[in-house]
Amino acid sequence: MKKSIFSLGLATLVFAGACQQFKTGEGGLQYKIVKDNGQPKAQTGDLLSVNMTVTTDRDSLLSSTYKIGLPQIINIAADSLPGLYPGDYNSMFKMLGEGDSAVFKLNLDTMAAKTMQPKPDFADHYVTFSVKVNKHFKKGELTDSALYAEVNTYFDGEIEKLRSSEEGKINDYIKKNNLEPLKTTSGLQYIITEEGKGEKPVAGDTVKVNYTGALVATGDVFDTSIKEVAEKNNTYNPMRPYEPAKFAIGVRQVIPGWDEGLLLLPKGSKAKLIIPSELGYGERGDGRGIIPPFAPLVFDIELIDVIKPVANDTTAQDNTAK
């Protein structure tokens, strides 16, 4: 449900912005104010909670708070800081207040010239920011500790929204995909889509697994061992090998949902694991902003091989010692 609301909000913002012409502001910054809520604009030292998408002029999505499910906190810096210039990233947010929304086009050629840094290679000329301000934290006479206490309280509330919505996301996913999973006492849910003929692994065995992992809430694939899947979902990384993962099972080398789920599968099986955050990345997420806090995950798994541990050759060890 949250995804639908966010998507609708983003679509409305983009559509409204498309009906206007870009204006040119200080330093050549191009912008459209989609909504001016009439509130005070951000000043140096203030912080803004924003929802934002960042896209390139190659039609590539660089980031989206809507996908993560958490807003981003923007710190309004002083213009005198090194590397800042009129019309830069910092300038964009100084044009906004609480409830405002806007679209900005940041010129990368200008940025490179002003900062004396290499031009990024992920776009040709522009990066577009579609921004909606949720809340404005005003520095005023507040100490830094008091200001950040306000932000922390606010963000705790956003995290709580994710926590309380997790069960609903899982139920919606199951209903939408017409699934009838089995459920363990831990909360893991699974469907064996193709049952293998081999034996099940036990703790300490090494397994070889092909997998694709996605966020339950959005369906976005965040990792896979299969090259074709990575290419299809725009997650391909030429610097990594695409091959079955190999690891010891049941000894905490992977998330608990994998440890538990793979022990249920005979060798050769294919299955779908629906993993609540408690058995995944928990209340902190993955720390990279890819898997947010309290994010349920779904993995399509193929258990390719089960390798038994090799017993220690104590005779050889004794002979070596002698």
Tell me the CA distances in angstroms from 10 to 17, 30, 72, one per residue in order: 11, 19, 15
Q: Give residue 217's identity as a one-letter amino acid code.
A: A
Tell me the CA distances in angstroms from 261 to 17, 136, 208, 293, one per residue in order: 46, 44, 14, 21
| Options 74, 249, 255, 275, the catalytic residue | 255
Give the list of residues 6+ apart from residue 183 with CB closer than 8 angstroms, or none: 189
Catalytic-residue membership of 247: no
Rounded Cα distance between 132 and 92, Å, is 12
Catalytic-residue membership of 31: no
| Options 46, 100, 205, 223, the catalytic residue | 223
Catalytic-residue membership of 137: no
| Options 93, 137, 190, 299, the catalytic residue | 299
Rounded Cα distance between 128 and 145, Å, is 33
| Options 129, 222, 259, 294, the catalytic residue | 222
| Options 137, 173, 281, 294, the catalytic residue | 281
* Structure letter (DSSP) for residue 256: H
Question: CA 247, 253, 254, 257 torsion: positive or negative?
Answer: positive
Catalytic-residue membership of 211: yes
Catalytic-residue membership of 15: no
Nearest by Cα to 101 from 130, 73, 74: 130
Rounded Cα distance between 70 and 150, Å, is 17
SS3 274: strand
CA angle 63, 65, 69 (to 5 degrees): 135
| Options 31, 137, 190, 211, the catalytic residue | 211
CA angle 191, 282, 144 (to 5 degrees): 155
Catalytic-residue membership of 100: no
Rounded Cα distance between 198 and 205, Å, is 14
C-alpha 11: how far from its chain's center?
A: 20
C-alpha 197: how far from its chain's center?
A: 36
Catalytic residue numbers read 211, 222-223, 255, 281, 299
